[in-house]
Amino acid sequence: MCGIVGYIGGKNCVPILINGLKRLEYRGYDSAGIGIINNSHSDVIKNKGKVSLLEEKIDNLNLFANLGIGHTRWATHGLPNEVNAHPHFNTSKNLFVIHNGIIENYQTLRAGLKKLGYKFITETDSEVIPHLIDSFLTKGNSLFKSVQLALQEIEGTYGLVIIYDKEPDKLIAARKGSPLVLGIGEHENFVASDVSAILAYTKQIVYLEDGELVEVYRDKFVAKTIADKEIQKEVHEISMTLEEIDKAGYDHFMLKEIMGQPESVCNSMRGRIVLDKGTSKLGGLEGVVEKLAAAKRIIISACGTSWHAGLVGEYMFEQFARIPTEVEYASEFRYRNPVINKDDVIFFISQSGETADTLAALREAKIRGASVFGICNVVGSSIARESQAGVYIHAGPEIGVASTKAFTSQLIVLALITLLIARRKDMSLVDGKKIAEEMQKLPDKIAQILKLNDEIEKIAEAFKDSKNFLYLGRGYNFPVALEGALKMKEISYIHAEGYPAAEMKHGPIALIDENMPIVFIAPKDSTYEKILSNIEEIKARKGIIIAVASDSDNEIDKLVDYTIKIPDTIRMLMPILTVIPLQLLAYHIAVKKGLNVDQPRNLAKSVTVE
């Protein structure tokens, strides 16, 4: 969950590292640091807090080096402070290491290294790495060999970059369970945990796989396994642009991403709807359609917002494809000895494609013989590469930590998969065409909802000082209640819970009073009358109600305190519309509280540790 960037070439690496860290700050912002090596000066500069504070610290130091590494941290072991910040170094302070991941046997390694005379100054697991490498360097090994030997003793996950002042013509990078890419330039090369860090300098990318190390020079690189077998790596051209990862005039990335949903949803569907046949075409699933249609059971595994998308997918698959579907937290999946059959199909959903728990669950499912398919956003990500088949959501880069456009694009892809399977089974052409036509109308309907931004901001003003929120929905909109509550928690730090509306009577109703705002997701569908009854129960206990309701609904206005009216669509697609007012509500409340919505406390965008 940390950001990593490294550089070797002919330019001053310091501004390159700082700019890269700014691009990566969404991956961690507890502390930051750089390590640089040149002929006259080798040093580490670190600081608690955001990259801007580190930049201020080094502005007047006139640093210059052609070799350097940088890191922005999301703390796992040890407090977020300057001492625990990366890079870490050996006793001689001439070997610098940055690390993303968790070293599971660090206590054992630490004890052994202490017996050898090594002293530790941090609380981190990462500090064992430079000392362990140093212990092999002192035996006369090269840097690359020392890293190989050290990694054979390490248990856990890592994305590593190492530099050493005795071998200043190279940097070493290694990956196991934590993403790393190599960027190829003209007489310069880069390493990063995310292509966004180096996009300004190159679009030529090499993806490192687990168990691989790479020795990077200015004009070449050599990739090997830990066991010293050389590997030929393919260079990929990426299509992402700098404009996609800029704020484009918005105050926050989150607002830009919410407002960009007409386009992102359109991109997720582009070229995939076959209207005249009432079906979809998904190239990534082309070879497995029959297996999907014949599946006896579908499992969806994910974390956080992606798990909520999976819950909507469960409703879709069961209603239209008539396949029993279960939704599993990826973080629990492999620890409860799940029953997996060889004819099960398992979808793993992750925006980044690097979520550690989801990736671990995918690997466990593969070992057990299930068919594993990925749904992710980032091209070339680990889940995309390790899945047997899958679908990209094509939402574009999502920088805001709280996921918004990725959620709606995940729902689009789940709807496309549903259409693909259902039409292979017993869904009629008429029904298939109706779903396809309604999907094509979604971008315009989302644009209509976004015009309510000012109205939703006024509602936010009334609730910015609330201590609790309750979100209630039924059927397809129960997962939306969960997602709305999650957004409120993530960025406003207001306690919020989502429930099926009928479950409100089984506990949460005890919390209702005149100070409790309740958000009902209440479009006119088959559960509408039941929702109205739940609203009456809340009003009888003086609860304050905000309703997300259908444009055509005039009845609900008499029962609630605030209404947000949205266009109608068919039930299976309604979550794509009902969630957007909840994203805006959370956003505006957080802004009015003076909070950093793009970088909420204690969170990071890509959860690459378990």
Structural domains for the chain? 3-244 (3.60.20.10), 248-450 (3.40.50.10490), 452-597 (3.40.50.10490)
What is the pLDDT, as a whole number, of residue 475?
93
Q: Which of 2, 13, 303, 376 is catalytic?
A: 2
Global pTM? Answer: 0.82
**pLDDT tens digit sequence for 394-411:** 998 898 889 999 999 999
**pLDDT tens digit sequence for 478-488:** 999 999 999 99
List Cβ neighbours of 550 (8 Å cut-off, separation of 6 or more).
523, 524, 565, 566, 567, 568
| Between 341 and 312, the higher pLDDT residue | 312
> In which band, very low, low, confident or very high, does the pLDDT at 196 lie, cut at 50, 70 and 90?
confident
Highest mean pLDDT among 89-93, 340-344, 415-419: 415-419
Cα gap 103→77, rounded to integer Å: 10
pLDDT of residue 609 exceeding 60: no
Q: Which of 170, 487, 489, 605 is catalytic?
A: 605
Q: 329 pairs with which residues across the strands?
A: 302
pLDDT of residue 527 exceeding 60: yes
Least confident of 242-246, 332-336, 536-540: 242-246
Cα gap 314→406, rounded to integer Å: 18
Percentage of residues in the chain having pLDDT higher than 90: 75
What is the pLDDT, as a whole number, of residue 247?
80
| Between 27 and 574, the higher pLDDT residue | 574
Section 198-206 average pLDDT: 93
Q: Contact, 23 vs 602, CB < 8 A?
A: no
Cα gap 538→526, rounded to integer Å: 20
> In which band, very low, low, confident or very high, does the pLDDT at 311 lie, cut at 50, 70 and 90?
very high
| Between 514 and 345, the higher pLDDT residue | 345
Section 379-403 average pLDDT: 91
Rg (CA), the chain: 25
What is the pLDDT, as a whole number, of residue 605?
57
If DSSP codes are grouped into helix, strand and coil, which group holds residue 164?
Answer: strand
If DSSP codes are grouped into helix, strand and coil, which group holds residue 106?
Answer: helix
What is the pLDDT, as a whole number, of residue 128?
97
Return the HEC string of 362-378. Answer: HHHHHHCCCEEEEEECC
What is the pLDDT, as a whole number, of residue 512?
82
Percentage of residues in the chain having pLDDT higher than 70: 98
> In which band, very low, low, confident or very high, does the pLDDT at 610 lie, cut at 50, 70 and 90?
low
Q: Contact, 350 vs 413, CB < 8 A?
A: no
User: What are 160's two structure tokens?
Assistant: 């590593």
Section 195-208 average pLDDT: 92
| Annotated catalytic residue 445 | no
pLDDT of residue 301 exceeding 70: yes
| Annotated catalytic residue 605 | yes
Least confident of 72-76, 103-107, 114-118, 582-586: 72-76
CA dihedral 590, 583, 351, 301 (to 10 degrees): 110
pLDDT of residue 606 exceeding 60: no
What is the pLDDT, as a whole number, of residue 547?
96
What is the pLDDT, as a whole number, of residue 607?
62
The per-residue pLDDT of the chain, averaged, comes to: 92
**pLDDT tens digit sequence for 19-67:** 999 988 876 778 999 999 987 678 999 999 889 999 999 998 889 999 9
pLDDT of residue 241 exceeding 80: no
